[in-house]
Every structure is written in C-alpha cells, then in structure tokens.
Structure 1
Amino acid sequence: EEASLGMNCSSVNCPVTWKLSPAFQQALLSFCRMCSDSRLGAEVSRIADSEESVMLMLGRCLPHIVPNVLLAKREELIPLILCTACLHPEPKERDQLLHILFNLIKRPDDEQRQMILTGCVAFARHVGPTRVEAELLPQCWEQINHKYPERRLLVAESCGALAPYLPKEIRSSLVLSMLQQMLAEDKADMVREAVVKSLGIIMGYIDDPDKYSQGFELMLLSLGDPSERVVNAVHQVFIPAFAAWTTELGTLHTSLIPSLLARIEKLHTQGEHGLDEHKLHVFLSALQSLIPPLFAVVLQNAPFTSRVKLHGDIPAIEVTRFPRPASPLQDVATIIGSREMLSALLQLYDHQLEHEGTTGWESLLWVVNQLLPQLIEIVGRINVTSSTCVHEFSRFFWRFCRTFGKIFTNTKVKPQFQEILRLSEENVDASAGNGILTKATVPIYATGVLTCYNQEEDRKLLVGFLEDVMTTLSLSHAPLDSLKASFVELGANPVYHELLLTVLWYGVVHTSALVRCTAARMFELILRGMSEALVDRRAAPALITLCSGPEFSVRISTIPAFGTIMETVTQKELLERVKMQLASFLEDPQYQDQHSLHMEIIRTFGRVGPNAEPRFRDEFVLPHLHKLALANNSQSVENKRIDIATQLFEAYSALSCCFISEEVMVNHFLPGLRCLRADMEQLSPEHEVILSSMIKECEIKVENRAMSDPQGSMSIASSLVGEDAKTKFLSKMGQLTTSGAMLANVFQRKK
C-alpha cells in the first residue's frame, strides 16, 4: 500500500488533492509569519506593477532607508534619490527627496560633494530650467547660512554648476545675489574661494550689460580678500571670465582697463601717508591678469584676420613665447580657440608689425597711444624707494612685453621709455635734482622691459643702460635711489650677478671719482645673495682695486661692501684679505683724521657685527670700537665728537645683544662703553644714564659668571661691581629705555 501510494505521488506532480476548509487553510498558513499590517509589510506585499508605482514606492521608502545607511556609504543612494526626484509625480515628494539629497551627508568631503553636484547637474539636464529654479535653487537658498562650512561650500559650488541650466534672468539676479552675500559674509576661506569660482562661471553666462558695474565691484571686492586662495581663484577664474564677457560687450579696453588705470592714478593723489601699497597690488595684479585677453582682442581685431589660413605649414608656438598662464583661462590659445589659430595669427601679427605698420588697427593703436603712455606716466610718479611697488610694476611690464612679443617690445615699448629717459652726455645737468632718471621709471624699464629677452644684444642694452644711469646720476650729484632699486631688483636673481658685476667694473675703472664712489656703494646691494666663488673672483678684487686709488671718498665708499662680505662669506682666505683691508683703514696713519671714514666703519660694525663670525667680532670689531671710543674722548671739534658718539651708541646697542666672552667684555666692551659715557656726560647728560645702565648690566653679567665659576675670576668681578651699585642699578633699570634714535634726536636739538 505504501509502495503504491508513493508511486502515485511521484507519478502525478500536483498539489495535494484533498479538500481543506478555508478556515483550516487560514489557520495553517498563520504559522508562516507575515506582517502586511505594518508600513514596510504593506510595501513588501504589493509589488509595483508599473513605472509610476515604482516611483511612488521609492518616494515612500527612501526617506526611511537613508537614515539607516552608514554615512560613509550614503552616496550609493544618490542615483536612487535623483531618479525618483526626477520622475515622481508629486511636487511635495520631490521636494522632500531633494531636501534629503542636500542633507544626505552631514559634512560631505570633496568627493561626496562632487558626487552630489554631478547628480544635481544630471537632474538639471533632465528636468529643464523651470524645475531647476523651482526645485533645486530653494534647497541651495535654505543652506546658505548652514553651520557647517562643507554644506555652505556645496551651495557655493552648486550655484556655478547649475548656472548653464538656469533661466538667464535668475542667473543674473537671484544666484548673483546669493553669491554676493556669501562673498561678503562667509567666514570660511574655502567657501569664499568656491563663491569666486562660481561667480566666474556666472560671468561666462550673463548677457545683461547692466550687470557690468556689479561684476566690476565684485572683482575688486574679491581681489581685496584677506585669503590668498580666494585671490588666486579671482585671477584663475573670475577675471578671465569677466574679461571674456567685456570682450563680447566691446568694453575690455574702452571701460574695464581704463577703470583700473584710473584707480591706480587716484592712489597717487590720495592720502598724506604715502601710497597704499596693498591697493596698488590689487589693481595692478588685476591689470596683469587682463594682459592675455587684451592681446587676444588685438589679434582678433587686426587688419589681417581675413587672411588667416589654417592649412599648410603653421609653425608650432615656442614653449617660452608666452609667460606661464595662471590658469587655462589665461592661456591666449584657449581665449583665441586653438593653438593652430593662435600660431597662424602670430605669424601674421609679427609680419604686420615689422613690414606694414599699425594703420587702421584700432585696438593696437589704443595700446600704443593710450595704455603705454599712461602706464609710463604712472611709473614716473611711484616712490622709487618702495621695493614692493617697483617689483610689482616690473613684473607687470615683463608680462606685458613677453605677451605682446619681441618686435612690439623693440618698436613700441622701448622707444617710449627711451624718449622719456633721454640718456645723453649733454643731458647730464638736466637730470640733476628732480629729473626722470631719479624716478622709478629707471628700475622698471631696466628690470621689466630690458630683461624680457635674453640674447646678446638684449644683455648689452641692459648693461649699457645701467652704465649710463650710473654715470649720469654720479656726475650730476643726483640721488642714487633709482640705480639702487635696479640693482636690488636684478640682484635678487643670481642669473644677473655676472651682468651687474660687468656694470660695476665699468664704474670701478671710470675716470671720475664720483662714478667710482657710486660703483663702490652698489656692491653692498648685490653681495648678499652672490656665490662665494663670484665674490672671490670678481667682487673682492674690484673693491680692493677701488681702495688703491688716490681719493679717500672712493675708499670710504667700499666699507659697507667689505662689511657685508665679513657677514656673509665663510671662505678663510677671502675673509683674511678683507680683514687686512679694514685693518689698514683703522691703523694706517693716513686715515687718522678721516672723520667720514670712521663714521662709515662704526656704522658698518654696528650693522654686521651681530651676524659676523664671533671670532672676528671679538678679535677685531670690539677692540677697534674701543680704540675709536677712546680717541673720541680727545676730539676737540664738538660736531665731530657728537657724530661719532651717536654712531658708537648705535653700534654698542646693536652689539650688546651678542654673547661676548668675559675677557673681551672686561678688556674692550666695558672700557669702550665707559669712554662713550665720558663723552655723553658732557654732550647729553640726560642720556648718560642709559649708558650707565648698560655698563652696570654688563658688570653684573661678569660678576654672575664669576660667581658660577669662582676659579680665578673673583678678582675681576669684585673690582668691577659692588653690591650697592648692583641694587641701585636694578631699581633704575625699570625706568630706562635704550634707543639710539632717541639719542640722535637729542643731539639734533642741541645742534
């Protein structure tokens, strides 16, 4: 029976055929545990049977799924959220889903933000401008003041990423206002940096000319930002985009550049406290970033544009033809459209400049007849002693000349400078006093224009120019600041050291002592960064040559340079040669009454002493200062005595911070200070007390050292200071200030 039953079941593959009552069936199935009465149970028990029901189901489920997914994995949900938000029929549900998207991760990192942005752009492409404005923008607006900077960063980046997909009037109103608010108010540098980049993208899509002035103000506001990364973003993205828009409007060279020039000019007429260097930097750096788009305008509006042929042999553009752009948007090839197009235009540009001239070429004529003369005039008014201003303008002209090319520089830029500088023999007297050769025009022409190209003839021109300036200024007894500024700016780059030494050698062997004096003074400015080999081979021999001439004034002018060698060089033989030269100044009887020589030596010792080799300081500087202080006690000419005392005070103040051995302290430093105090008692009683305090401080140092090392030192210490003197000194110290400048002022009043 069992066998037949089994056979029966296996042969008929069917459900059991006996009848069960429905109640029994229900009761039996109740042992399968189901939960269709819960929310999730209801979702699970009814499978979506159409696209729409899938969207509705996702809309219902996602808000419950998101909070339960690990933070690190939540970006996996982005495709689901976006797809649902795109296709869901209910606006309220879509809003909730986009809200979830923007709040998906508490503090999204770079990668997570990029993923969300990618999703936003995909959504925008799919749904069109009206829904982007209605559905995505409110999410941005909501988070504009979020407490986490990462979330505000997402907002700033979204404004740029969504720009191409927004209705144009919203771009130039609401979105621009949002970004403007964040730029002005957000405390986080990274947020303002993203704001500036998004503003640049917005500028690329704005077509409302009325927004020009708002764009200009935003450019200036962001350029003045305290954060370097924000300012870099302005130059990399905002300015090139704004320039592209003004090029479209036709106002790059008629409005934007003239506005910046006007602001630079205004800086020179404002304020009694001198030029605001930060503002100058802001305006000039903006102008510098506008050079590539300006050059593109000149090329695109040239007489030859109709003759451009892009087939045939177009030579490749040399790698060094243009300065390195701050970003691809500042690359002239990107602005023009392609490297091939740029190369073809450059060929015609150079040919036109060389053979056909500028007739009818309006944009280039504006550069030559308006921009250049205005810039050269501004340069003539800036302070030549401000190395920052000189450096900024120098960099500007270098980039300008390199961008516009060698033929343009030689035929349009150099002649305008040369016309103004007019270097010639008969002009020597005319350049005395307030002449143009004493202005910043000299260093900016030398370092910004004449260094642009580096062939032999370019280097010769630079050397010749510096030689002429050195000669003219020296012979007309004019201030040397413009020459000094040229040497400082060029000397910062070791590439120019040999060239500058060539210029100085011309001065060393010049027939006029005035020119030789100037050459001697210039050495000091370039020695600091120079290689020891070059100092040894070229600089030191030139200085020693200057000392062999008959004029004391020339010899005295070499002292600061010798001092700088002592401070910066380590090579023993060279140091020994310099020390011998300085020793001859101090010990040779012919220099005994050379007041200005002694002044220069003391000034140099005060400057280089603290940084020089300790042995040189102890064995050379301090013993000689002692001798000079002692000699000054018997100086009968009061003015000279005051001069030397003032200079000694400065030197001793500078050297008092050095570690000085007990022996040198006792034998030279203290006796020198006492000699100086003897002068002060007569010349400036109110300052004698400062020296007394310095002396007592040194005496206490010696005594304290003796106490910690009683072997053999006690006698020196006890002979120097008693307990009562020490107590008096300490009570006085709180009231005293040591200031050479203050002392000099007192002497000034006495005179």
Structure 2
Amino acid sequence: MMDVERSSLCNCVVNFLLEENYLLTAFELLHELLDDGRDAQAIRLKEFFSDPSHFPPDQISRYSSLRVLDPQSLLEEKEAIEEKLALSDYELRLAQEDIVKLKTELQRKEDLTQDKSSEPSVSNHVNHAPEIHRQKRDAPFSDLGPLKANERKDLNCTVKEYLLIAGYRLTAMTFYEEVTDQNLDVWENSPASVPDALRHYYYQYLSSTSEAAEEKISMIRENDSLKEANESLNHEKLCLMKNKELAEGQINALTKSLEATQKDVKDKENLTQDLKQALENQRKELNDCRAEITSLKMHIEGSSSLQNPVAANLDSTQSEAIESYKEEIKSLQMEIERLKAEKTNISDLVDSSCGDKEAIQTEEKVVEMDDNRTQISHHIEPAEVVDSNTLVMPVQTFDNSTPKPEENLPESSMNPSNSTDGFPDGRNLSQQEEKPLSEDSGLHLNSENLGSEPVPENMGLATIQILADALPKIVPYVLINHREELLPLIMCAIERHPDSSTRDSLTHTLFNLIKRPDEQQRRIIMDACVSLAKNVGEMRTETELLPQCWEQINHTYEERRLLVAQSCGELAEFVRPEIRDSLILSIVQQLIEDPATVVREAAAHNLALLLPLFPLMDKYFKVEELMFQLACDPSGVVVETALKELLPAIINWGNKLDHILRVLLSHILGSAQRCPPLSGVEGSVESHLRVLGEQERWNLDVSLRMLAKLLPFIHQKAIETCPFSSVSESNGTLLSNSILELYAGGHVEWPAFEWVHVDCFSGLLQLACLLPQKEDNLRNRITKFLLAVSECFGDSYLIRIMLPVFLIAIGDDADLTFFPPNIHSRIKGLRPRTAVAERLAILGVLPLLLAGVLGSPGKRQQLADYLRKLLLEGATKESRSTTHNMDIVNAVRFLCTFEEHHGMIFNILWEMVVSSNIEMKISAANILKVIVPYIDAKVASTHVLPALITLGSDQNLNVKYASIDAFGAVAQHFKNDMIVDKIRVQMDAFLEDGSLEATIAVVRSLVVAVPHTTERLGDYLLSKIFQLTNTPVSSTDVMRRRQRANAFCEAIRALDATDLSANSIRDFLLPTIQNLLKDPDALDPAHKEALEIILKERSGGTFEALSKVVGAHLGIASSVTSFFGESGLLGKKEITELPTEPVEALQSAASPAAAEDTRFMRIMRVTDMLRGKGKNPEETHQNQ
C-alpha cells in the first residue's frame, strides 16, 4: 500500500513538472529515479526526453559533446554522503556548481537554437512542444481558469517539500534554482500550508469527486463576490451610521421639545385640577343651599296651609313673617345668580384646559324658579334659616283640636322617595334637623304640641338617621343566610342619607355583609350594587361605591376579590367613560395577576364585559396582551374563559383580526423554536426536532386551540372581502370552482383568503417539522384544525388548495392551477430540498396529510388510494431505506389514533400480509405492532392476531421475528384470557423452531409485557426459561451463549419484580437461577450479582431479613439473625429441598452480609415456616 501511495505521489510531481515546463528539475528527477532503481516511475520521463518531437536527434548529437552527469558517480557520491554525513556541505556546494553548469549549458542551447536560421521550424517545435503538452493536459480543466500566483506558490512549495522528503536533494536544488520568481524557503501560513502537503492533497483528491471540486470552485468565486458585496455593505453601513447620527440629533431636539410640551401639559393639568376642585367646592355649596332652601320652602308651605281659630288675630304677625321670608328668598335668588355666573366661568376654564365636556352638562343644571316651587342654592348658616320668633309664635296658640299640619300637606311632601331635592344632596340638612326648632328659637313647646305636630321632612330624615345608626349594630347578629334580607334597608339608607361619611360606612357594610359569600350571595350583593349605582348616578358611584369595592382587591379571601372582579364588569356602565379604560382596566390587570384561579377567571369574564364600554381604541394593544396572558394561563378554566368569551369580545371590539393572527403565528413558532434541540449533532434530523418542556407544550396547545377558535372569524372575513361576490353560485357555497378559477387569475388581491394557505399552512408545516414523534397531542390539534378548515371552506378548497400545498410539502408533485402566479414561488418553496428536509417532511407533514387533509369525511376513498400507493407500491422500491419505512409506519400509526380509519387500514394491511414481497410483510408486522395501543380487545382478536399468526408462519426469518415483536405488543396491552392463550400457542411454535434468534426474540418480547399482563403469562414465560436453561448449550461460541444468558437474566429480573406464587418460585425461579449460574463465562458480572441477590432473597436470605425486623421490635440483638441465616438451623431446614451443590457454591461465593428483604409480602410468606419451630439459645449464643 505504501508503494502504491509513493508511486502515485511521484507521478503527481512528474506531471506537475512537465505541465509547468520545469525541464531541468524533471531531468534531474529522472536521473535520481534511475539511481534509486525506480524505473517504473521514470518511464514517462524517459519517453518525454527521448521523444524526437521534443528533442530532435540532430540537435541532441550537436550537444553530445557537452558534459553530462555520470549516474554512477552520482550514486557513489550519494553512498559516500550517506556514510559520511560530515561531507554534506561539500555535496551542497558540488550540487550548486552543477546547477550553474547546467544553467550555462541550457543558456548556450537556447542561444544556439536562436542562431540556427536554417532550422526555424524544428527549433520552434522543440521550444513549444512542452507547452503544447501542458495545454493538452490542462484542457479538461480549462474552466478552472489560469493558476493564480498564490496557487502556483503553494504547488511549488509542495513539490519542493516532496522532493526533499523523498531524498531527491539534487532535484530539489535544481527546482529551487529553476523557480526564480518565488522564494520557496518561505511558505506563508495559508490553508494549503500543511506538513507533508502533497500526501494531503493526494488523499483529498482520492476522497473527492469532480463535482465536489467544481462546487468548491464555485463557492470560492461566490466567496469573492460576497467579499465585494460585504465591502459595499460596509460602505452603506457607514452612510447609515452618519444618517443615524443625524437622526439622533433630531431625536434629541424632539425629546427636548417633548419634555417642554409635557411640562406645559402638566402645568395645565395642575391648573385643571385646581379648577375642578374649585368647581367641586362650588357644587357642594350649591347642594347645601338647595337643602336649606328646600327646608325653608317646606316651612313656608306648612305655615301658609295652617288653619286655626286664632288666624284672624295673627294676620298681621303672619304677614310680617311672610314678608320676611320673601325678602330672604329674594336675597337668596340674587346669591344664586351670582353663583351661576361664577360656575359658568369655571366651566369655561375647565373646558378650555382639558376638553372635558361632560362634567358640567349633567351635574350642574340651571335651577329654575317659579311661583309655586322655589329652589334656592345658597349656603345659609343654621342661625339664619328661620326667624324663630315669627315661626314659633303662631304655633304656640294651637291646641289639640287644631288640625295637624301633616294632614294638609300634599302626599308628595310626606313621601321622602318623591322628594327630588331634599335627601340625596342635602348634607347639611341632617345637622339642622338634629336640633329641634324650640332649641333654635329659645322657646319651649309643650310635649303635646311637640308630639302631635311633627314636621314631615324632619320625620323622614330622622327615620333615615335612625336606620343608618342601627344597621351596623343589627347586621352582625343576623344569620349569614338571612343577611341579604337587610339589603333593601341598607340600600335605602345609603341612597338617602345626607352625610357622606355615614354613607361610606354603610357602603362598607354592604360589601362586607357576608364574610365569604358564595356565588349566589355574591350575585345578590352585586345586583344591589347595580341597583344602587342606577339610583345615585355616576359621581357617587365613582366616589362612594367603587372605592369601597376596590379596597378589597388584596383581601385574604378570594371570595371578596371575586366581588372586585365582578364590580369591574357590572358597575362600569354607571361611571364616566374615561374611568373605564383607565382606572377600571388597571384594576382588571391587577386581578389577572391574582394567585387564585377563580379570580383570574372572573377577571377574564369581566374584561370581556368591559370592552364594549370602552370609548376609544387607544388601549387595544394592552388588552390584546392581557388576552394572550390569560390564554397562556396554567389553569384550564381560565384558558377556556379567555378563548370562549374574551377572544370574541376583543375581535368584535377591536376589529384587528389580522394583527391577532400575526401575533399568534409568531407565538406558536417562537414557543417551539426556543426549545433546545433533540440532538446537538449539526446537520442531523434530531438537531431540527425540539424537546418541549411542560410550559412550552401547554402554550402550544392553547395557541392551537385559539387558532381553531379564530377559524370562524377568518372564514367570515374571507367571505366578506371576496372580490367576486357577483358570481352566482349554484351550490350555495362561496368557494366553488368558479370562484377559485377567478382567484387563480391573479387580477385582484384577496389577502384574507390568501392568508390561510400561504401564511397559516406554512407556519403549521414549520411547527410540524419541529415536533418529535411523541408529541401526538399537538399533532392532533393541528389535524383537527385542518379538518375544520376543510369543513369551513368546502371540498373545492380542500382539493384545489389544501391538498396541493401538503403534497408539495412532502416532496410530491401537485397541480398549482388554482393558485395565482404571484404565489407559486412561495408554495414551491415548501418542497424539501435536502435529504434531512425530506425525512423531516415524512416525520412531520405526512401524518397531517393523511389524517388532516385526506382524512376529511368526503375523501376516504382518496385516502385509501394514497395510503395503498404509499404502502404497497412504495414497499417494492429497493431504494427506500429502513428508516424511511419506519417513518411511514409512524405516520400510519398516527392515522390510527382516529378510530374511523381503522377499517380501511386493516383492509390494506391484509393485502400486505398476503403479499409475496418480504419488505411489505415486515412493514405490515411493524404497523400491527404500533397500532395495538389504539384498538380494543375485539379488534385485536378479529384482525390483529389472525394477521400476526399468518406472518408468524412465514418461512422468512425476518418476517417471523417482526411478528414476534408485534405479539409482545399485543400481550402488553391486553389481559383477555383468550388473547393470552393464542399468544402462548404461537410462542410455543416460535420456540419449537429452536433457533437462538427466535428464542431471544420471544423472551424479550414477553419481558416487555410482564409488568402489564396477567400472572398466567408471567408463569408461562418463567417455565419456558426454566426449560431452556435445563437444556445444555451445545454451542462453543461464547458470544452466542452470552446473548442467550443476557436475555434470560433480563427476564428473571423483570419477573422477580412481580408477585410470583410460591410454587413458581420454588419450581421455576430458583432452579432457573441455579442453571444460569452454572455457566459463569456466559454471565455478565452485573447480571451475576443480581441473580445471586435474588437467589439469596427468595431462599434463605428471607429468614435473615425477618429476624432483623423481629429483633429490632423485641430488642433482641441483631446477631440472632444467624439462627435464621444461610448457616442457621432454620435456614438449613428450609433449603434442604433445593439441590445442595449449587446452593453451597453460592453460599461460599456470597458475601457474609445477606441482602435484607424489605418486602412485606415476602416476610408474611415465611411466617408459617416459623410457627411451631423452637429456637436453640445455646446455638444462638455460639453463633454470636
């Protein structure tokens, strides 16, 4: 091998020297090859220098007299140099002198050639023959271009290095002198500069192809073009940096301007707040004046309506009182006019500062005055309200026979609920009414007159006051289930009490009526709040109701926080619009972060109720972010509420479906792409698949559910934006063939429709190629979405649009007639280009094509045809690899997760089972194995087992072994006695075959099923292993014996972990272990140790463990275990039934400390053996 390599390298150097016209070096190399006896490598050089076309004989004879090198003398010199290394300097000097002589001779030869005019053609031929030869050799590689300077330098240095390594020193010196335009002593660091370069080039050439070389050359050229592009990009970058600096300067200037503007706005806001405060103060004064005037008016009306016997005597006095009242009223009217003017000025200032047009329009109406009902808005001190003397003097003369004033008052004045002016806003009225008129006037009324003539207004306010004082004391002593009966009283007191602090206290009582209200109680409380908000108006709802509710946002009990969430949605209707999308929205946002699931669910529900009440759209993106946050909540209840209620509400309110879809697709792909790859090997299939965490899997599942929820909106928008609505449809559906034909013309745009098959399908295909095989739940979500798409858009869309997209995505051909020309490139871009991409398409896209596209109800026959083509015709292709077949099997497995396709799949499987193609039968066995988890016992008995029995009787061993694995899968999933019996019969047939491979396959297939199957199958496997281990192994091959022993050991360890009967342990398990221990050469050390522990636990070691437990409870020394151990008396009695020789050998090999069995069942099984057996204390003492 080394000679061949050496010859190849030498030939490479010879070719290079001749092609580059280094004739002196080639001539020197010829002599050195002849000196070394390498005539085979010198043949070409001999032919070249003896060729008359290169060197004519007459020219050679003319130079025959010239001195040439003697090969014999050179050989002697070489031998002398090898023997005497001290003469190396002399050799170098001699070689240099020879080179000078040769150069002189060559120069003379060239001069003589030029002087010979009689032989121009011959000379020309001699001079140009090597060049012609080199051009001929270069012809196949003419497309590579001329050698560059760095390439020639690398090749020259490589040849020089080879000549020195090969020992051709004279040739190397000649070559060094002949290459005059390059310094071969210095070889710069480059990719070509490697030790022993020529050998590396040679190996690289052998391992490459011409196509690879061409590809590399094209890559080099592309690299050059990229460098040029990079330079242009750098220049563009510099320009952009300059533009960026200019933009930053502009931004700084704009920032300063913005700050100044913000400062001005802040100043204006402060001014607005001051004006609002002034307005509020004026409003309070106005309300106080209203209350005072109402009280005065009622007193006036009461006085004017009184009829008594002494009225004639008091006419003058009464007239004076009336006149004084009129004068007082006129002064109050003037004061009202003044307040109106001030209020108008304040309103104008507020409107100009903040543009608030609502605050004054509804709350501050002009009070109209008339003769019958005078309304006055001016604050009057209590001492100035009434002239007590003029008011009380006529009253003192009344007696019991005088009619009561309340009998003559109109009904409207007696009913507090009909008074529009008195109670809600009369905050100072309560202070006035608390003092009897007699005290204010300084006169004394007798008890009869005082009791018989109460003022009606005073009586109503006093009742409200008494109710407000009593309710906080009554509520705690009312049963919780009956407290809602107090709500009408609480509401009445809150609505009509004039004092704000008392109303706040009562409102607090309302919200805290029940400590932890249930759903029904919360409903009652919230209905009361809604009713109260309707009656009291916006301002009081904002200032009294909502603050009391929101104080409980951080309450310990989640029921209270639920009230807060409900108030956000139900009370928002009764507050100003600007409060809804600011304060209330911020409260909802805080509730969304609540740790309680029910609170977050209520927040999502009430946010959906709140959205239609928002006056503007400026908070849309914040709301959309909250929606995605709720959709990715870890609680399924919150997610369901967000998808069912909040998502439609956002779409109907914001009308930004396109933005939601873009964000959703980005979220879906981002969640998967951020996960780590399944493998770190770059370029492998596993490096493209992602390992999904629990959070990422949940987010993807919710995102796909959201996409399915959005499908009706997508379909509706596609229909509404259809540009071909004038086309009449015979079948009543929009997306018929005629519509799709018009769409394919590409004359109009239809983005809402195009998004589905261009953007949405592309994103789902990318996601499918990122999901590993085990992510069936996510793949199932995608499939259901695709089925829903085909149902929404119709069969025409499914056949003309959906199917071509997915066929191209798996690498098949498809008809793009119904696609506009401008999107053809995007659809064709879905086709896999590399082998890795093709396998990813089979893994990820093929299951979706089968179950989600062809699996629609109307395409069952087309699915059957495609699947039959895939399984039957594809299996006959020899080029298809085993990995490719298993990927297709996995796709069919996923299709079997949909029960409606089972019948069609079994029909195709039977065709494969009865086929004569071996690969087709193996594929059928593999499919039967993987679909077992998705069928029931009836299908397994009627379809799977008959097919497996047919395959198990096949003569081909590969088919038989594949069916054995499938039988194991059936045993693993079904405990039906009939199925187990059929499996046992078939396994007996496999074991009768007697081959080692069949035996190992049967044992390993049943071992997998042992933890999941019945006890009968476990006993069957144990008995078969016992029979097999009893049979002597005739094979002398240690590896085959070891494979057999390993399979048996794995089965024994798996069976030991199950509950075996005592008979099975005695008759099969222990003898089997002893049989395996007889062949220690075939046992793995780990298996041997495990078998010894099992044997000790299942035999004598159990007694030792039990004795330790008993001794620990009774306080007996632990050394008493020797009485029960392997060497103890009882231990010997219990194991006498076993063969003595293996047990003794095991006892000698085992460690003194027996493994302690902690299994309760094993301890209980030996209790019967301890009964009636005495313990010898002396023997115990000796053992200690």
Q: Same fold (TM over 0.5)?
A: yes
SS at match of 1:275: coil
SS at match of 1:556: helix
Q: CA deviation at 1:111?
A: 0.8
Which residue number corresponds to residue 667 of structure 1?
1067
Sort the Cα spacing of 1:728 and 1:214 in 2 relative to 1 into closer, same or farther, 3 A. Answer: farther
C-alpha distance 250-275 of structure 1, shift in aligned 2 (>3 A): closer
Q: What is residue 956 of structure 2 aligned with on the other side?
A: 551
Deviation at 1:303, TM superposition (A): 2.8
Counterpart residue identity of residue 348, structure 1: L
Q: Where does structure 2 lack aligned partners over 5 or more consecutive residues?
A: 1-399, 401-433, 437-449, 681-689, 814-830, 1107-1123, 1125-1129, 1159-1184
Counterparts of 1:465 and 1:175 in 2: how far apart (Å)?
62
Indicate conservation of the 8 Å contact 1:385/1:481, yes or no: no
2:639 corresponds in structure 1 to 231
Tell me, yes or no, if the aligned pair for 2:913 and 2:921 is still in contact at 8 Å.
yes
Which deviates more, 104-113 or 404-413?
404-413
Q: 1:243 to 1:640 in 2, by over 3 A?
A: farther
Aligned match of 2:772 in 365, 383, 393? 383
Among 716, 719, 737, the alignment partner of 2:1137 is 716
Structure 2 residue 692 is matched with structure 1 residue 275 = yes
Cα separation, partners in 2 of 1:433 and 1:56, compared to 1, 3 Å: closer
Aligned to 2:1026: 626
Is the Cα contact below 8 Å between 1:129 and 1:167 reproduced in 2?
yes
Structure 1 residues 543 and 724: CA distance shift in structure 2, 3 A? closer
Select which of 797, 808, 812 maps to 1:419: 808
Shift of 1:211: 3.2
Aligned: 1:290 with 2:705: no
Instruction: Rate the CA distance shift 1:534–1:259 in 2: closer, same or farther, 3 A.
Output: closer
* Structure-2 change in CA distance of 1:656 and 1:208 (3 Å): farther
The offset of 1:284, in angstroms, is 2.7
Query: Is the CA contact (8 Å cut-off) linking 2:464 and 2:497 kept in structure 1?
Result: yes
Q: In the alignment, does 2:475 pair up with 1:66?
A: yes
Contact 1:267-1:275 within 8 A present in 2 as well: no
Shift in alpha-carbon separation, 1:164–1:473, aligned structure 2, 3 A: farther
Alignment of 1:282-681 (within 5 A): 282-303=702-723, 347-350=733-736, 353=739, 356-357=742-743, 359-423=748-812, 435-454=839-858, 456-457=860-861, 460=864, 463-464=867-868, 467=871, 471=875, 475-480=880-885, 482-569=887-974, 575-589=980-994, 592-593=995-996, 595=997, 597-618=998-1019, 620-629=1020-1029, 635-677=1035-1077
Q: Say what the alpha-carbon RMSD is for the aligned residues.
A: 4.4
Deviation at 1:585, TM superposition (A): 1.0
> 1:615–1:250: structure 2 CA closer, same or farther, 3 Å change rule?
closer
For 1:452, the aligned partner's letter is S
Bigger RCO (CA 8 Å, 6+ sep): 1
* Distance of 1:168 and 1:633 partners within structure 2: 92
The CA deviation at 1:555 is 0.9
Equivalent-residue separation in structure 2 for 1:176 and 1:614 (angstroms): 63
1:159 shift after superposition: 1.4
The secondary structure found in structure 2 opposite 1:384 is coil
**Which runs of 5 or more residues in structure 1 are unaligned?**
1-24, 26-36, 316-345, 737-751
User: Percent identity of the aligned residues?
Assistant: 27
* Partners of 2:452 and 2:724 in 1: CA distance: 73
Give 3-state SS (helix, strand or coil) of 2:883's partner: coil
- 1:623 to 1:519, Cα distance in 2 relative to 1, 3 A: same
Q: Spell out structure 1 runs of 4+ moving beyond 6 A.
A: 42-47, 269-273, 305-309, 427-433, 701-705, 720-724, 726-730
Of 551, 576, 579 in structure 2, the residue corresponding to residue 142 of structure 1 is 551
Once residues 575 and 1151 of structure 2 are traced to their aligned partners in structure 1, the CA distance between those partners, rounded to angstroms, is: 78
| Structure 1 residues 676 and 196: alpha-carbon distance in aligned structure 2, compared to 1, 3 A threshold | farther
The residue number in structure 2 matching 1:102 is 511
Q: Which moved more, 1:480-489 or 1:166-175?
A: 480-489
Mapped to 1, the partners of 2:767 and 2:498 lie a distance apart of 65
Aligned: 1:121 with 2:530: yes
Give the corresponding residue for 1:257. Answer: 664
> Which range moved further: 481-490 or 222-231?
481-490
Secondary structure in 2 matching 1:369: helix
TM-score by length of 1: 0.75
CA 1:108/1:576 → structure 2, altered by over 3 Å: closer, same or farther?
closer
Alpha-carbon displacement from aligned partner over 1:575-599 (angstroms, at most 9, x marks no partner): 444322211111124xx24x2x333
Cα deviation, residue 570, structure 1: 6.0
Amino acid at match of 2:622: Q
2: CA distance, partners of 1:410 / 1:511: 35
When structure 1 is superposed on structure 2, of 186-195 and 47-56 the one drifting more is 47-56
1-structure distance, mates of 2:576, 2:873: 61
Could you give the per-residue CA deviations for residues 638-677 of structure 1, whole angstroms, max 9, x where no partner exists? Answer: 4444444443333222211222233332332223333444
Displacement after TM superposition at 1:52 (Å): 6.7
- Distance in 2, matches of 1:270 and 1:568, equals 32
TM-superposition CA deviations, 1:371-416 (whole Å, max 9, x none): 2122223212322343343333333333343344433223222211
Bigger radius of gyration among the two: 2
Q: Distance in 2 between matches of 1:105 and 1:193?
A: 22
> Compared with structure 1, are the counterparts of its residues 661 and 252 closer, same or farther at alpha carbon in structure 2 (3 Å cutoff)?
closer
**Whole-Å separation in 2 of the counterparts to 1:473 and 1:103:** 78
Asked whether the 8 Å contact 1:121–1:161 carries over to 2, the reply is yes
Contact kept, 8 Å, 2:757 with 2:805, in 1: the verdict is no
Alpha-carbon shift at residue 428 of structure 1 (Å) = 14
- Structure 1 equivalent of residue 1153 of structure 2: 731
> Of residues 625, 644, 655 in structure 2, which corresponds to 1:247?
655
Q: Aligned partners of 1:390, 1:650: CA distance in 2, in Å?
A: 35
Counterparts of 2:644 and 2:990, CA distance in 1: 57
CA–CA distance in structure 1, aligned partners of residues 453 and 1149 of structure 2: 97
- CA, structure 1 residues 522+51, in 2 after alignment: closer, same or farther (shift >3 Å)? farther
The amino acid of 2:947's aligned partner reads: A
How far the C-alpha of 1:222 sits from its partner, in A, is 2.6
Question: Which 10-residue stretch deviates more, 123-132 or 721-730?
Answer: 721-730
C-alpha separation in 2, matches of 1:124 and 1:468: 74
Other structure's SS at 1:716 match: coil
Distance between the aligned counterparts of 1:428 and 1:111, measured in 2? 59
Q: 1:289 to 1:456 in 2, by over 3 A?
A: closer
| Superposed displacement of residue 170, structure 1 | 2.7
Structure 1 distance, partners of 2:785, 2:940, is: 31
Matched residue, 2:1084: 684
Tell me how far 1:552 sits from its aligned partner: 0.7
Paired with 1:51 and 1:266, the residues of 2 have a C-alpha distance of 75
Amino acid at match of 1:175: I
SS at match of 2:655: helix
Question: Distance between the aligned counterparts of 1:352 and 1:81, measured in 2?
Answer: 68
| Counterpart residue identity of residue 112, structure 1 | Q
1:174 aligns with 2:560: no
Residue equivalent to 1:111 = 520
- TM-score when scaled to structure 2? 0.49
For residue 733 of structure 1, give the secondary structure of its aligned residue in structure 2. Answer: coil
Q: How many residues align?
A: 654
Report matched runs for 1:32-51 at 5 Å: 49=457
The letter for the 1-side match of 2:786 is F
Residue in 2 that maps onto 1:322: none
* Deviation (angstroms), 1:417: 0.5
